[in-house]
Structure 1
Amino acid sequence: MRNSSDQAFRKGDVMGRWDEPTYGGALSFLRRKFSRDLNGVDVAVSGVPYDCATTYRPGCRLGPRAIRAASVQLAELEAFPFGFDPFATLAVVDWGDAHIDPHHPETVPRDIEAHAAKIIATETKMLTFGGDHFITYPLIRAHAQKYGPIALIQFDAHCDTWEDDGVKMDHGSMFARAVDEGVIDVTKSTQIGLRTYNNSDHGFEILAAPWVHRNGIDATLEIIKARAGNAPVYISFDIDVLDPAFAPGTG
């Protein structure tokens, strides 16, 4: 089996790594086994291919597929610069993508939340790829239903807390709604990398991009960890937190 192709479908064990050419084979995330059997699984990777809540250009619905394709370049290597193999200790599977009906957009938040609830009900942790940033709202709702109010650690160029009417599907206001609903515990939450202004911080600790550049990674981590404490944590990474010179094609 070790020297056969398409091991994302064929491999029996979910632990460890195996060799497969980067230019062929089934494109699971980091060549993990495709499975919806979460018995004994630590982390389930899944995609949410949705981008109808974005403001400008669409296209991030293709993100889960693109991330899987790019990840094969790293599938055989130990994590740099740490030099360890996470798959030697963590059982990780690629669950596939959440089912979304684009022709009935009113069902999308409900279906994403149900997708997450099904996975975390098994005590499996989630690693989820979007999709636009709105998908984080139903994902956090599902986690809060299980774990209580969530400490959000948000890496983002934008606060995503602009005025929200409680109904619209908007990638720039959903965290304001989550705070209003008590889903996010802002006293434990931190936003990192912001470089846009909003006249209301909604109670978040904000470490803006210039602050992070001046004070460095260690100081940033110290504040994040001290604020979150022992609260259940959800980490959200919006690609636009990166310098647009290197990630220009976001919506």
Structure 2
Amino acid sequence: MSKKYSPVNSQESPRFSGIKTFMRLPHVKTEENIDFAVVGVPFDTGGSFAVGTRFGPEAVRSMSSLLRPYNPSLSVDIFEHCSGVDYGDLVVNPGYIEDSYKLIEEQLNLLLKNDVVPIMIGGDHSISLPILRAMADRYGPVSLVHFDSHSDTWDSYFGRKYTHGTVFRRAVEENLVNSEKSIQIGMRGSLYNPDDISDAENLGYQVIPTTSLKKITADQLGEIIHERVGNNPVYVSFDIDFLDPAYAPGTGTPEIGGFTTFEAQEFVRQLNGLNLIGFDCVEVLPDRDITRVTSIAAANICYEFISLVASNKRGNIPVPNKSNYTF
């Protein structure tokens, strides 16, 4: 690797200064000599309740200046093992879902053909579909690890096939994900009818609702995930409403009874050693995030995933034992 990109040293330049890129990484529109790229997707036309997640990438980048390169929980210095950039935001067409899907997929293909791991910041959850289209074009049907309070497997919403509530049904129908090697984690809250639960399972996903997840440890969850996805290429999608609204009030469709930021970090760290090919963190709504705690949480979740990329580059990662837990 001829050129290695890394952040501004915050011990030499104050963290509140400078242009707000993720972790103060250089903003470079390159697909070469990098292991990962942080990519904003400022699109929220697929949302159904509160809107404004198009401003999520900007808010998450702003609070990411608090992050430091060494992750003690994984014992990894990110930039000792990785080179990464802030790729900037993808071009989208506000108000036009299918046009924007094509734009997102086309732009993401440039990174994937160079084996760059994209760290995508939304935007509403509808952006995951064009991302998965690009992933499947590069890797074939992928495994999905999906953290969310909603399964997002409706057939349609307000008569529309493409919304943030239908994305993971479309992904199965288009053969973008191998649902038999995929898992959805954290579902909770009131429903329109019982089919909202059974639909995801009928599509082939393994579903661990919040009521079940609260009864096991993070290590046990890790065993279940590793057993489920195996060595398949893994795409991770993290809806910030996986967190309880006490920890992430800035989101469009919050559900009470969720998880703490500490629990979320522990769960994401369990993905260590998987064949990770990409990640998104979606549904951050800055207008409802008065104290910016949601943006801080999202920045840290993205950081944990980047740390996993670095950990994979470093190697020598123990794989969890086979799990005795089934859901």
Above 0.5 in TM-score? yes
Change (3 A) 1:167 1:113: farther
Partner Cα distance (2:217, 2:133) in 1:
32
Structure 1: give runs of 5+ residues left out of the alignment. 1-11
Question: 2:205: which partner in 1?
Answer: 204
- Displacement of 1:13 in angstroms is 4.6
Correspondence 1:18 to 2:9 = yes
| Aligned ranges 1:114-193 → 2 under 5 Å | 114-164=106-156, 168-193=161-186
Question: 1:34: which partner in 2?
Answer: 27
Change (3 A) 1:180 1:105: closer
Partner Cα distance (2:83, 2:30) in 1:
12
Local SS of the residue matching 2:76: coil
Partner Cα distance (1:15, 1:248) in 2:
31
Partner Cα distance (2:95, 2:211) in 1:
42
Correspondence 1:47 to 2:40 = yes
Letter in 2 for 1:57: A
Local SS of the residue matching 2:216: helix
Q: Does the CA contact (< 8 Å) of 1:164 and 1:177 recur in 2? A: no
Correspondence 1:64 to 2:57 = yes
Structure 2: give runs of 5+ residues left out of the alignment. 190-195, 253-327
Equivalences, count: 239
Partner Cα distance (1:224, 1:239) in 2:
19
Partner Cα distance (1:24, 1:243) in 2:
31
Change (3 A) 1:185 1:43: same
Tell me the TM-score normalised to structure 2 length: 0.69
- Displacement of 1:169 in angstroms is 2.4
Alpha-carbon RMSD across the aligned residues, in angstroms, is: 1.8
Partner Cα distance (1:210, 1:73) in 2:
33
Q: Does the CA contact (< 8 Å) of 1:164 and 1:176 recur in 2? A: no
Give runs of ≥4 in structure 1 deviating > 2 Å.
80-84, 103-106, 164-169, 196-199
Local SS of the residue matching 1:129: strand
Aligned-pair identity (%): 37
Partner Cα distance (1:222, 1:103) in 2:
41
For 1:32-56, what per-residue CA distance to the aligned partner results, in whole angstroms no more than 9, with x for missing partners? 1111222221001110001111111
Correspondence 1:214 to 2:207 = no
- Displacement of 1:163 in angstroms is 1.3
Partner Cα distance (2:198, 2:206) in 1:
14
- Displacement of 1:227 in angstroms is 0.8
Partner Cα distance (1:182, 1:53) in 2:
21
Partner Cα distance (2:50, 2:246) in 1:
17
Letter in 2 for 1:250: T
Question: 2:225: which partner in 1?
Answer: 224
Q: Does the CA contact (< 8 Å) of 2:47 and 2:124 recur in 1? A: yes
- Displacement of 1:106 in angstroms is 3.3
Local SS of the residue matching 1:199: helix
